[in-house]
Structure 1
Amino acid sequence: MTAPTTVPALTKPRAARALRSAEATLPNGLRVVAVRKPGVPLVELRLRLPFLSARAGHPARATLLSDTLLTGAGELDRIGLAEALQGLGADVSVSVDADRLVVGGNALATNLRPLLEVVASVVQAPAFDTAEVDTERARLVERLTMARARAGVVAAEALSWRMWGDHPYAVDLPQPDDVAAVTPAQLRSLHRSFVRPGGAALVLVGDVTPDRMVGFAQEVLADWTGDAPSTRVRALPTPPGGPLLVVDRPGSVQTSLRMGRAGVTRDDPRFAALQLANLVFGGYFSSRWTENIREDKGYTYGPHSRLEQHTLGATLTLEAEVATEVTAPAMLETWYELGRIATVPVTAAEVESVRQYAVGTLALSTATQAGLASTLSALSAFGLGLDWIKEHAARLQRVTVDEVSAAAAEFFTPAHFTSVVVGDAESISGPLAALGDIERES
């Protein structure tokens, strides 16, 4: 027989190695954050630009701009740009959401300056060639059409509209018809209005001295001009709660469940406690919600709750995909777990377990050059940086069981959530109505 084994107790986390860093705001308003992180002879780059706007058509134009930004810049066409990056051992990509446009990439550390020169060309002189725009527009329309055929996308969008109404955050994906109408001239106008150094943040992490990285940024990007974009976006409204919204997807064999409410941002004193409360509820594999509707009941493969950070606020979101016939039981168990964590204090054992998980994932997320660069880029939107990362591990260690229970009571009360299900309405509406008020999408 094999002797039983025990898992050794976790040791205290080791102090992270101190990182050398430098920070400067260039005369054109660009904030540069540079961190030396040796180990791999690379450098990671993240250029984050504010992109929030309430203008009609902005989501479609912003998404297509993101897709076309690397199709040519300066004197280089798409192929020339790709060859220039390949010659540097570099990779560059562009992404966009309601809050920001990010140009991200990496290169050999010895090629940081030429990488910055390529990025400078991309953000200052993109071509937006008509043929390239036509190609990328057609591809984007096709991708969006396919995405909108997925129940999870429909559910996420329905929840966003229900929570935020006509606020820009309500638009998860642009409409294909809106994208189809975007012209190269509109992309150039959007670029002039929003791709500016004022209010932007450049994060550089790699095996280069911080002062040298800042110096390269000053040399290469000094001629880039433009103040932060002037936008008027109202504050986030309070999510309305109310009856469960049922969105019909005739014949669907499964239901997509989405629930959301306002959370707190990283700079809020309650953030660490809410982060741990969320992990206890549904934020990782051993959470209460997972144990209930996955391990015990078998209703779903992977329910998950998460805290999402936005420039104007934060959301606490729950999501699960369940079989049509167990939609109502899964919803009942979800409400039960929300009510239980909101009214019954969490245990010391639960808090210690999720504390170790949170501290560990924070360390892992910043252990690589790429992970640290992405984290610092996200933090830059809130004026936070390396100090926040260092201090947050300590905050997680200090959070008490009572504080986690208080956060759970404040943020997990079932009635405070706005809820949406997408599925076969004829099959699921009756059982759901037996649990409480529902509203059918008209």
Structure 2
Amino acid sequence: MSRTAEEIGRTELGPRPLPPLGEHRAATDLSYLDTELDNGLRVIAVRQSTVPMVEVRLRVPFAGDDPAHAARAEVLAATVLTGTAERDRVGVDTELALVGAELNAGVDPEVLAIGGNGLASGLDTLLAVLADALTGAVHRDDEVAGERARLIERITVAESQPSVIARKALQRHRYGDHPFTREMPTAADVAEVTAEDVRALHRAAVLPRGSVLVLVGDVEPQAAVDAAARAFAGWVGEGSAVVLPPLPALVPGDLALVNRPGAVQSQFRLSAQGLVRTDDRYPALQLANLSFGGFFSSRLVENIREDKGYTYHARSSSEFTPGGATLLVDTDTASDVTAGALLEIRHELGRMVVSPPTEAEVEVVREYAIGTLLIATSSQGGLASQLAATAVLGLGVEYLLAHPGRLKAVTHEQVVAAAREFFAPSRFTGVIVGDAEKVGDLRALGGVSFP
């Protein structure tokens, strides 16, 4: 006779106790090589033989001060894999398909990112196609025109999305007109981009020195580095890829209400200065942040989602910015509970100071942080992406492998100190995007500037 899950989970004395958590074991025996090629390209190659594939992540610093840079960069990323002097778009796709590979490109204010994967046996072909795009992409007039039209359509749609409006407002509020804020160009700017603009940008800015190539998969590290050296021997250029200048320190202050007439929701985006990954206090801040709002059972989620029902999602996270880092708190609520939601967010921030995470809370988030990191790096794609994200900050494999140990070593007292230092409500600023006529008693709470 079969038993239900509830019956299996109980005994005559009550619920069956859960077994203790097993020990998290980080990968410590990875074979890897971190080196710099003659052209200045840094290559990190890691052997992880879970499947006969290889993951590729290229990060090229791609900053620019010109207000038109963001639009040109977006069109460049959209057309860099659409053909070279040797291969047209069909040729690129066909050659990659023959080795079970794919590549895609994207750009943000900091980097041009090209990534993909393929069969390990096809690594030479995958790298040859990538190198050809870097050195020989022609950005044909018709390809530029087609991608430009598609970008304009996507941007026009995105600009009406509340999350995009809120992000733009937060960036302007925090950093004014710093190039870091130009995360999405305007449709009008994209419409002005010509094929020659894109080709000129490619020649001037797609440079190997200062860039990072990450290779993770069923390959020997030295063989992977040798393959990269052969493929990218012709990728040369004067100077280094351009990095963004450091951001100004984040100044605490009032939240700015951005009026969006007719909105049925309010978007909260709060921010405060954080810590870079290399700071000795960062692991403690990471655990304090998880306790506050960094996972589903955090204090913020339990309050404004589970208890008050103000929102479907709420979270806090670290954002690593040029030369620094910030803490972000974001949630969306119905317009009529905007004031109530802000009151509870401030309450939870204040509670981190006067009633910081308990030892039990710290142990829960410690297990979560270590477990999710090990899961994220257990696959070839996850490890490659994690390495690419840390490599652009100057870090390497050793940092990633050692981080679970750093999290294990954090004491309860260190987490308490981080909570009290970094989560005081007075350290935050930010924006609320919503209908000023529907946000209730928000003005009465103070600390919010109205348009």
For the aligned pair, the TM-score class normalised by the smaller chain equals: over 0.9
Give the conservation status (yes or no) of the 8 Å contact 2:55–2:118: yes
2:353 aligned with 1:342, yes or no? Answer: yes
1:100 to 1:337, Cα distance in 2 relative to 1, 3 A: same
Q: Determine helix, strand or coil for the equivalent of 2:438.
A: helix
CA distance in 1, matches of 2:238, 2:393: 18
Q: Verify: 1:323 aligned to 2:334, yes or no.
A: yes
Indicate the SS of the match to 1:72. coil
Aligned counterpart, 1:435: 445
Aligned to 1:224: 235
Q: 1:405 to 1:255 in 2, by over 3 A?
A: same
Map 1:305-384 onto structure 2 (within 5 A).
305-384=316-395
CA separation of 1:198/1:230 partners in 2, compared to 1, >3 Å: closer, same or farther? closer
Give the 5 Å matches for 1:141-160: 141-160=152-171
Larger displacement relative to structure 2 (120-129 or 243-252):
243-252
Separation (CA, whole Å) in 2 of partners of 1:297 and 1:145: 35
Given the alignment of the two structures, is residue 264 of structure 1 paired with residue 275 of structure 2, yes or no? Answer: yes
After TM superposition, the structure 1 stretch with the greater mean CA deviation from structure 2, 222-231 or 52-61, is 222-231
Report the Cα offset of residue 238 of structure 1.
2.0
Extract unaligned runs of 5+ from structure 2. 1-5
Deviations 1:395-432 (A, max 9, x none): 1001111111111112111121112111111111x511
Assess if the C-alpha contact under 8 Å between 2:244 and 2:322 holds in 1: no
Change (3 A) 1:183 1:229: farther
1:289 aligned counterpart, secondary structure: helix
- The answer on 1:185 being equivalent to 2:196 is yes
Give the whole-Å Cα distance in 2 for the aligned partners of 1:228 and 1:272. Answer: 35
**Equivalent position of 1:279 in the other structure:** 290
What CA distance in whole angstroms lies between the structure 1 residues aligned with 2:234 and 2:100? 26
Match of 2:120, as an amino acid? A
Structure-1-length-normalised TM-score: 0.97
Asked if residue 137 in structure 1 is aligned to residue 148 in structure 2, the reply is yes
Separation in structure 2 between the aligned mates of residue 228 and residue 206 of structure 1, nearest angstrom: 31
Contact residue 257 and residue 431 of structure 2 kept, 8 A: yes
Matched-pair identity in %: 47
Q: Please name the residue that 1:46 is paired with.
A: 57
Does residue 64 (structure 1) correspond to residue 61 (structure 2)? The answer is no
Shift of 1:280: 0.3
- More displaced, 70-79 or 120-129? 70-79
Name the CA shift for 1:368/1:334 in 2 (closer, same or farther; >3 Å): same
CA distance in 2, matches of 1:202, 1:58: 23
Aligned match for 1:422, one of 433, 440, 444: 433
1-side partners of 2:276 and 2:255: how far apart? 26
Aligned partner of 2:450: which letter? Answer: R
Who is 2:124 aligned against?
113
**SS of corresponding position for 2:441:** helix
The counterpart of 1:79, out of the listed 90, 94, 116, is: 90
- The change in CA–CA distance for 1:316 and 1:15 in structure 2 (over 3 A counts) is closer
Distance 1:372 1:415, change over 3 A: same
Cα deviation, residue 121, structure 1: 0.5
Compute the displacement of 1:229 (Å): 3.5
Following superposition, the deviation at residue 302 of structure 1 comes to 0.8
Superposition deviation, residue 57 in structure 1? 1.3
Structure 1 counterpart SS, 2:51: coil
Return the offset for 1:231.
4.5
**Within 5 Å, which residues of 2 pair with 1:397-412?**
397-412=408-423
SS where residue 326 of structure 2 aligns? strand
How far 1:67 sits from its partner (Å)? 1.1
Contact 1:44 1:370 in 2 (8 A): yes
- Partner-residue secondary structure (3-state), 1:426: coil
How big is the shift at 1:233? Answer: 4.8
The alignment status of 1:123 with 2:134, answered yes or no, reads: yes
State the distance in 1 between where 2:76 and 2:367 align: 41
d(CA) in 1 for partners of 2:118, 2:112:
20
Corresponding residue of 1:8: 19
CA contact (8 A) 2:267 2:434 kept: yes
Q: Match for 2:295: what amino acid?
A: Y
SS at match of 1:106: strand
The residue number in structure 2 matching 1:34 is 45
C-alpha contact (below 8 Å) 2:95/2:125 kept by paired residues: no
RMSD: 1.4
Separation in structure 1 between the aligned mates of residue 291 and residue 270 of structure 2, nearest angstrom: 17
Name 1:175's counterpart in structure 2: 186
- The reply to whether residue 201 of structure 1 matches residue 212 of structure 2 is yes
Report the more deviating stretch, 273-282 or 62-71.
62-71
> Measured at CA, do residues 122 and 367 of structure 1 come closer, stay the same or move farther in structure 2, by a change above 3 Å?
same
Structure 1 position 171, deviation (Å): 2.1
AA of the residue aligned to 2:282 = F
Q: Distance in 1 between matches of 2:239 and 2:414?
A: 39
CA deviations on 1:177-235 (whole Å, 9 max, x unpaired) are 11111111111111112111111111111101111101111111112101444658543
Residue identity in the other structure for 1:279: L
SS at match of 2:129: helix
SS of equivalent residue, structure 1 residue 169: helix
Aligned to 2:29: 18
1-structure distance, mates of 2:94, 2:279: 45
- In 2, the alpha carbon distance for the partners of 1:440 and 1:54 equals 31
